[in-house]
Amino acid sequence: MNKKITVGILFGGRSGEHEVSLASARSIINAIDKNKYEILPIGITLDGQWLTGENVLEKLSNYDTKNLTKVILSPLPGDNYLYELAENEGKTYLHPMSIIDVFFPVLHGTFGEDGTLQGFLEMADMAYVGAGVLGASVGMDKALFKDVMRANQIPVVESLTFNRSQIQADFEGICKQIEKELSYPLFVKPANMGSSVGITKCHNQSDLYEGLLDAARFDRRILVERGVNAREIEISVLGNDSPKASMPGEIIPKQDFYSYNAKYEDDSTDLLIPAPLPDDLTQQLRKTAIQAYQSIDCAGMARVDFLVDKETQAYYLNEVNTIPGFTQISMYPKLWEASGIPYSKLIDHLIELALERKKDRDQTERKYRSDE
- Whole-Å CA distances, 324 to 75, 179, 311, 349: 26, 32, 29, 16
- The answer for residues whose C-beta is within 8 angstroms of residue 329's C-beta and 6 or more apart is none
CATH of domain 5-128: 3.40.50.20
Low-confidence ranges of the chain (pLDDT < 70): 1-2, 194-196, 255-268, 370-372
Which CATH class name applies to 139-155+229-360?
A: alpha beta
Query: If you average pLDDT over every residue of the chain, what do you get?
Result: 92
Please report the pLDDT score of residue 371 as a whole number: 60
pLDDT tens string 108-157:
988 999 999 999 999 999 999 999 999 999 999 999 999 999 999 999 99
- Alpha helices (H) in 71-141, listed in sequence order: 116-123, 133-140
The DSSP string of 307-338 is EEETTT--EEEEEEESS---STTSHHHHHHHH
Where are the chain's structural domains? 5-128, 139-155+229-360, 159-226
Please report the pLDDT score of residue 259 as a whole number: 46
Domains 139-155+229-360 and 159-226 equal at CATH topology level? no
CA–CA gap between residue 127 and residue 113 (Å, rounded): 16
Does the CA dihedral 331-337-343-347 come out positive or negative? negative
CA–CA gap between residue 154 and residue 146 (Å, rounded): 9
Third-level CATH fold of 159-226: Dna Ligase; domain 1 (3.30.1490)
Please report the pLDDT score of residue 256 as a whole number: 60
Please report the pLDDT score of residue 88 as a whole number: 83
Please report the pLDDT score of residue 370 as a whole number: 64
CA–CA gap between residue 326 and residue 338 (Å, rounded): 15
